[in-house]
Structures are given as C-alpha cells and as structure tokens.
Amino acid sequence: MPLLTIATFLPILGGLALIALPVRSARVAHGLSITVTGLVFLITLAIWSRGIVPGGFAQVEEIAWIPAIGAAYRLGLDGLSLPLVLLTSLLFLLSAIYSARISERVPSYVVLMLMLETASLGSFMALDGLLFYVFFEVSLVGMYFMIAGWGYEDRQRAALMFFLYTLLGSLPLLLAIIGLYLSSGTFDMRAWIDAPPLAGLGAMLALIAMLFTFAVKIPAFPVHTWLPAAHVQAPTAGSVILAGVMLKFGTYGLVRFALQMTPETFTRAGVVILAFGVFSALYGAFAALAQSDLKKMIAYTSVNHMGYVVMGVAVAALASDPAIRVVALDGAALQMISHGLVTGALFFLVGMLQDRAHIRDMGDFGGLLGRVPWLGWAFVVSAFASLGLPGLAHFPAEFQIFLATLNTQPWAVVAIIAIVVTAGLYLRAIAAVFLGEPNEKWAAMPDLGRREMLVIVPLLFLTVLVGVAPSWLLNMIHTTMASLSF
C-alpha cells in the first residue's frame, strides 16, 4: 500500500471533498479537517512502524511523470525526513483541533490548511528535484492566504512581505535545480546525493543559490525580516505551522541539498556558514530580549534556535572526525524537532492568552498564574524548554551542537551567550505575565478548556519525553546521519 502517497494527498483530497459538498457549514468543515488530519497522523505512525534503512531511502514510491526530462513522481524517507513528517502530521492535527474556534469563512480556511499539509508533507518526502520545488512553492500560496485572510490588524502587509521574500528567495533554488539537472540528466535527488554532479564554479554558484533560498526560509540573518511580521499577524494555527513546519524547509534543505549535493564546496564555505549561524543565534536572542509583544518575542527566538541548527550543519562539514560530524548532525536534526514541539506549544499558549485578553503586551498582564494556573504552568514548562533547561527537549539537541562546535571550531561557542540571554528574556516574560501583583482586569479570565488541553498536553508530554529520553528519536535520526558521506 503506498502509504506515503496516501498521507501526502489525503489532505488535499479532503479539501476538494469539502468544496464539492452541497452543505459546507462551519461544523462540517471543522469536523472534516480534524478527521482528515487525524487519519494522516495515524498513517504517518504506520509509516514509522515500517522503519527506515541505513545509508539510503526507504519506502520509495516512484512513477514516471515527465520521462523526456527524467522527472518522476518519487517519494521516500530516511532518518532526517521521517521525524519531520511525524512532527508535521502532529502539528497539523493539533492546529485543526485548535482552529475549531474559528467562525469566519471556515470552509476556505480548512481547504487552505489541508492544501498546506499536502505541500508540507510532500516537501519532506519528495525525492525528485522538480517535485520538491512544486511542493515547496505551493506551501507559500497556502500560508499567504491564511495570513491575509485570518490574521490580525496588519495582516495584508505581513502576508505580502512573507510571499515576496519567500517567492523571490526560492527562485535561486530553481536555478540550482536546473544546474544539477543539466549536469546529470535527471531530477532524481538520490542520484545527486550519491554522485554530486557539479564541481568548481558551478558547484559554488549552486551552493550560493541554495544558501540564499534556505537562509530566507530558515530564516537566518540578514534575510529574516519577514518573520516577525508574519508571525505576529498570522492566526495562531498559522504561526504554529509556520514555526513548527515551514521553517524546517530551510534547515532540511540545508542538509538535503546544500550539504549532500555540493559537499566539497559546502565544506570550503563552512566557516562562513558557521559565522552566519553564530550571528543569527546571537541576534535572535538579543532581538527577542528587546520585545514586549509576546508573539514577536517568540518569533525572534526562532531565529535564535534555527541559528543553532545552521551551526550544527556547518560544524559537521568542518569536522575531520567522523564521530564529531555525526554528533553535530544528530544535534541539528534533533533541534529541528524540538523547536517544532516547544515553539509550537508557545505559539498555541500565546494564542490562547490573546483569545482571552485580545492583547499580547507583557506589561498589560500580571499575576495570571493564580487566575489561569494550567495556562500559566504550561507556559512556564514551554519557556524553560525553549531556554534549554536540562530534562526538556532543547537540551540534548543544543548540548550535542555545542559539544561538536567546541571540538571543531571553539571560537563559535561564543553563541552560548544566546542561551543566557534567552533564559533572561523568558524569566522576564514569566515574571511580567504570570507572577507579581494580580491585575484585577483579568479576574474573570477562564483557564484552559478541554479542547485547549487536548492541544497542549501532547506537546508538553513530547517536550519532556524528548528531554528525558531522546534515544527513541535520536536512534531514528542517527540511522541516516551516521551514514552520510561528505
């Protein structure tokens, strides 16, 4: 049974079914959204149970698409993409559950979300360069309309900025894909990885194109400026999907394309890439510290945490010891997953707070822990995870990244300052919003409801599980990372 194809296209088929229904009420649309995303999540669990293989791609599904140019419908998984597929299906399911509160133009919203899930899953599973680019571009359309249609006060400007940055940023990748095709005669990404077709100037130009595209998507300094506006103006589920799933297109592409398809050139440019990663980590932390808007603060911490991923990938390319390479790559891949869990939870919680108060500025709250203890403690746990507290999800990832960095490029450990800054900004946020003298303005604020608990509890559980016992996830990642050759 082609489970990868079913998981990828079931969401968009659900969206088309909703369009075809004679009655498209909000209740029917939300019910269909939760049902479809729930089925996709179960299918991805079945895919996980089938397993992966060391040193290659498993569960490959391949059909001729455009034979004249060597393009085919190819899907497959390895230890890098499978965890991201599981994360994607989980976050879309939780987003569908949370979005049941939306009452405006619900069928259109659901169709966009389901289209976005298909594009996201396809991006992580595609093994054909042209197919990857199609999925990659379709995701921009879904998120653009989600921000523009259901965002907050300045949503039109934020949506336009997001679309222009990411669309223009993706064009260099198309040129790189064409260059890889002209040098190999195929769009098969497996062939590009097994025998990188470009060398010399061609490889350098392709790498520059890839780095620009994926830096915009990550986002890394200085092409990050679309992110805070997009996050602040996006609806809550949009922020969760953007941070938890779509930013990973950038870091996934950094490994899958830039590192694996131009390995020698990537290594030569490794110190420069590492410097950008270090600066992004530091910049993201200090920029977050300067914010009073909770949502914008969390958005900037994404720049910080994605900077660590860039560091891990760059260190892996620079390391001469194969064991250190694997440590760096394991940490970078684990950081992608932990960021999706932790930042997804934080955006959900800030959205829940905004649903109640209709504001996000820290200075307007105070003493909420006594009013909404479940919401407050959930935020505290997620904040401690984001600042890298041992026993929570970010710690094993960041520990491996910094361990490999110290062994390979000791100067880059200066980025550890960002962890101290992140701790300070989250402690400040907790103190301002949940501690101190209660603000009587929020005396009647309700605590988390059953639907909200259903959304938050799985993320908190996984945040603790990955922090305390990361081996079940690292073993999956390690299966692929230990066999990468570059």
Query: Using omega within 30 degrees of 0 as the cis cutoff, is the peptide bond preceding 322 cis?
Result: no
Asked if pLDDT for residue 156 goes beyond 90, the answer is no
Question: What average pLDDT does this structure show over 126-152?
Answer: 91
Residue-level pLDDT at 6: 96
Question: What average pLDDT does this structure show over 121-133?
Answer: 96
Residue-level pLDDT at 163: 85
Asked if pLDDT for residue 377 goes beyond 90, the answer is yes
What pLDDT, in 10s, does the model give residues 66-94? 988 889 999 999 999 999 999 999 999 99
168 is a domain residue: no
d(CA 236, CA 247): 16
144 is a domain residue: no
Residue-level pLDDT at 154: 79
The 3-state DSSP class for residue 77 equals strand
Asked if pLDDT for residue 23 goes beyond 90, the answer is no
pLDDT band at 134 (very low <50, low <70, confident <90, very high): very high
pLDDT band at 32 (very low <50, low <70, confident <90, very high): very high
Residue-level pLDDT at 357: 87
Residue 64, CA distances (Å) to 15, 75, 88, 132, 304 in order: 26, 12, 27, 15, 41
Q: Quick one: three-class SS letters along 282-325?
A: HHHHHHHHCCCEHHHHHHHHHHHHHHHHHHHHHHHHHCCCHHHH
344 is a domain residue: yes
What pLDDT, in 10s, does the model give residues 383-396? 999 999 999 999 99
> In this structure, what token pair is assigned to residue 481?
């990372």
Residue-level pLDDT at 167: 85
Q: Provide the residue type at 438 as one letter.
A: P
Asked if pLDDT for residue 424 goes beyond 90, the answer is yes
Residue-level pLDDT at 54: 86
Q: What percent of the chain has pLDDT above 70?
A: 100
Asked if pLDDT for residue 227 goes beyond 90, the answer is no
Question: What average pLDDT does this structure show over 289-315?
Answer: 93
Q: Provide the residue type at 32 as one letter.
A: L
Q: What percent of the chain has pLDDT above 90?
A: 73
Q: Which H helix or E strand runs over 12?
A: helix 3-20
275 is a domain residue: yes
Contacts of residue 260, Cβ cutoff 8 Å, sequence gap at least 6: 192, 193, 196, 484, 486
Asked if pLDDT for residue 191 goes beyond 80, the answer is yes
Asked if pLDDT for residue 486 goes beyond 80, the answer is no
Question: What average pLDDT does this structure show over 140-148?
Answer: 88
- Domain of residue 292 covers 269-486
Q: Domains in the chain: how many in total?
A: 1
What pLDDT, in 10s, does the model give residues 429-438? 999 999 888 8
pLDDT band at 157 (very low <50, low <70, confident <90, very high): confident
Residue-level pLDDT at 367: 86
Q: What is the pLDDT of the chain when averaged over all its residues?
A: 92
The 3-state DSSP class for residue 71 equals strand
Furthest-apart CA atoms within the chain: distance in Å: 70
171 is a domain residue: no
Asked if pLDDT for residue 53 goes beyond 90, the answer is no
Q: b/e for 280-318, b at 16 or more Cβ within 10 A?
A: bbbbbbbbbbebebbbbbbbbbbbbbbbbbbbbbbbbbb
Residue-level pLDDT at 426: 94
45 is a domain residue: no
Question: What average pLDDT does this structure show over 191-213?
Answer: 93
pLDDT band at 485 (very low <50, low <70, confident <90, very high): low
Residue-level pLDDT at 258: 94
Question: What average pLDDT does this structure show over 256-280?
Answer: 94
